[in-house]
Amino acid sequence: MKTRNTLANLEEYVPGRKRPGTVKLSSNENPLGPSPRALEAIAEWAAQVNTYPDGLACELRGALADQADVAPENIIIGNGSDEVLVMTAGTFLNPGDRAVIPAHTFSQYEFATSLYDGEPVFAPMQDGRILLDEMRALIGENTRLVFLCNPNNPTGTYVGAAELRAFAREVPDDVLLVVDEAYNEFAEAPDFPDAVELTRDRGNVLVLRTFSKLYGLASLRVGYGIASAELISSMHMVKPPFNTGLLAQKAATAALTDTAFVEKTLANNREQREVLRAELDRLGMPQYPSEANFICADCGRDAKEFAAELAEEGVSVRPLTSFGMPTWVRISVGTAEQNRVLVGALDNVRARGTALHP
């Protein structure tokens, strides 16, 4: 069978890997596990998995609407925010349309664009930071999408509130600005923006969020988008009818009420991120400042080889070669015990004479 021409230009997504028995710090998962309230909801509703879920996820949309102070009509639910990205491209891209994407960011922006015969164009970054002036310069007549990850994956850097507001005002009305806030809950910078505010007076802003990180529900695949009701209505035309399952919807709704788990997760991330940063400084590994639940660090040599050596020591981290950063790794913030194992592995790598930096 002959496949679509587009498929020849697609690259398979490479997830964070883990060897059996190792500490996995390669996928930015919640190291404390899933929300206990989510687990209770799964147990309560497990006997009803023989039924189809609510195709519009009305209960979950209502809970999210209350949290974000928007209407349920402003929200679309996806099988992870990855699916919302694909639905976005399927709604707004025609063949040959362009999408502006930072040079070193989440690969699914390029994937979704290319899947629908769009043309990704990449804006240069500096010191791990997204340069909005560079992105603005690439917006042209054929541009339909602009992707902005904030905090950015994999660098952890962020765009401030005033800068984002000014940029959003300059994006033409017929160009959709997609702000991916998968890691926004971990950000503590005083000027970190709430991009949902932009959706209240701009019909060309879509905000993406997820339950995979803070709430520990990565396996259940629940993400969502917030935008104007008109924009969301258009996206529902391409949404599969039962794209999120019953247990996923119930677990996500329950997780929103689990404030104790959220506070515990944020406290662990706040404390252990600083511990990890200090240890990487001791080892001479430069890092970008992070507002997320991971740190992006330069190992000074081939990142794949470095990650393989750490795996032999019992820890998996994410080499960033596929992000265009061949000497950098992304290390998820773990628990105190996981960080202890990681630091021991890093010390062992250095002790073997394979220097972390020249």
| 3-class SS string, 116-135 | CCCEEEEECEECCEECHHHH
Q: Say what the pLDDT of residue 357 is.
A: 56
Q: 210 and 264, same structural domain?
A: no
pLDDT for residue 97 is more than 70: yes
**Which tokens in the block code for residue 174?**
């017929």
Secondary structure letter of residue 326 according to DSSP: T
Average pLDDT over residues 38-51: 96
Q: 148 and 67, same structural domain?
A: yes
Residue at 173 is within a domain: yes
Average pLDDT over residues 183-200: 96
pLDDT for residue 36 is more than 70: yes
pTM, rounded to two decimals = 0.91
In whole angstroms, give the CA distance from residue 116 to residue 7.
10
DSSP three-state, residue 183: coil
In whole angstroms, give the CA distance from residue 346 to residue 355.
10
DSSP three-state, residue 298: strand
Secondary structure letter of residue 153 according to DSSP: T
Q: 157 and 76, same structural domain?
A: yes
pLDDT for residue 2 is more than 80: no
Q: Say what the pLDDT of residue 131 is.
A: 97
Q: 59 and 28, same structural domain?
A: no
**Which tokens in the block code for residue 214?**
């803070």
Residue with tokens 């220097």: 355
pLDDT band at 350 (very low <50, low <70, confident <90, very high): confident
CATH of the domain at 303: 3.90.1150.10
Q: 24 and 173, same structural domain?
A: no
- Among residues 255, 283, 300, the one where a domain terminates is 255
Q: 162 and 73, same structural domain?
A: yes
Residue at 356 is within a domain: no
Q: 219 and 199, same structural domain?
A: yes
Q: 295 and 207, same structural domain?
A: no
Q: Say what the pLDDT of residue 352 is.
A: 75
Q: 166 and 115, same structural domain?
A: yes
Q: Say what the pLDDT of residue 9 is.
A: 64
Average pLDDT over residues 101-121: 95
Residue at 192 is within a domain: yes
- Among residues 197, 220, 255, the one where a domain terminates is 255
pLDDT for residue 353 is more than 90: no
Q: 224 and 280, same structural domain?
A: no
Helix (H) or strand (E) holding 59: helix 58-68
Work out whether strand 129-130 and strand 125-126 pair parallel, antiparallel, or are unpaired.
antiparallel
Query: Nearest-CA neighbor of 30 among 158, 311, 220, 243?
Result: 220
pLDDT digits (tens, 9 = 90+) for 247-265: 999 999 999 999 999 999 9
Average pLDDT over residues 317-335: 95
Can the peptide bond before residue 190 be classed as cis, meaning omega within 30 degrees of 0?
Answer: no
pLDDT digits (tens, 9 = 90+) for 170-191: 999 999 999 999 999 999 999 9
Q: Say what the pLDDT of residue 37 is.
A: 97
Residue at 268 is within a domain: yes
pLDDT for residue 285 is more than 80: yes
Q: 289 and 235, same structural domain?
A: no
Q: Which of 84-88, 99-103, 150-154, 350-354 has the lowest mean pLDDT?
A: 350-354
CATH of the domain at 95: 3.40.640.10
Work out whether strand 143-149 and strand 176-180 pair parallel, antiparallel, or are unpaired.
parallel
Secondary structure letter of residue 327 according to DSSP: T
Query: Nearest-CA neighbor of 68 among 196, 208, 236?
Result: 196
* DSSP state letters, 35-56: -HHHHHHHHHHGGGTTSPP-TT
* DSSP state letters, 157-172: ----HHHHHHHHHHS-
Residue at 8 is within a domain: no
pLDDT for residue 55 is more than 70: yes
Residue at 63 is within a domain: yes
Q: What is the 3-state secondary structure (H, E, C) of 190-254?
A: CCCCCCHHHHCCCCCEEEEEECCCCCCCHHHCCEEEECCHHHHHHHHCCCCCCCCCHHHHHHHHH
Average pLDDT over residues 329-339: 97
Q: Say what the pLDDT of residue 254 is.
A: 97
pLDDT band at 303 (very low <50, low <70, confident <90, very high): very high
Query: How far is the first Cα of the chain from the last one, in angstroms, to the nearest whole number?
Result: 51
Q: Say what the pLDDT of residue 223 is.
A: 97
Helix (H) or strand (E) holding 34: none
pLDDT mean across residues, the chain: 93
Q: Say what the pLDDT of residue 349 is.
A: 86
Q: What is the tally of structural domains in the chain?
A: 2
Residue at 6 is within a domain: no
Query: Nearest-CA neighbor of 340 among 312, 315, 308?
Result: 315
Residue at 5 is within a domain: no
Q: Say what the pLDDT of residue 147 is.
A: 98
Q: Say what the pLDDT of residue 351 is.
A: 76
Domain that holds residue 51: 37-255
CA angle 10, 24, 31 (to 5 degrees): 110
- Among residues 255, 288, 314, the one where a domain terminates is 255
Q: 335 and 239, same structural domain?
A: no
pLDDT digits (tens, 9 = 90+) for 122-170: 999 999 999 999 999 999 999 999 999 999 999 999 999 999 999 999 9
pLDDT for residue 10 is more than 80: no
In whole angstroms, give the CA distance from residue 4 to residue 241.
24
- Burial of residue 32, with CB atoms counted within 10 A of its CB: 0-12 exposed, 13-18 middle, 19 or more buried: middle
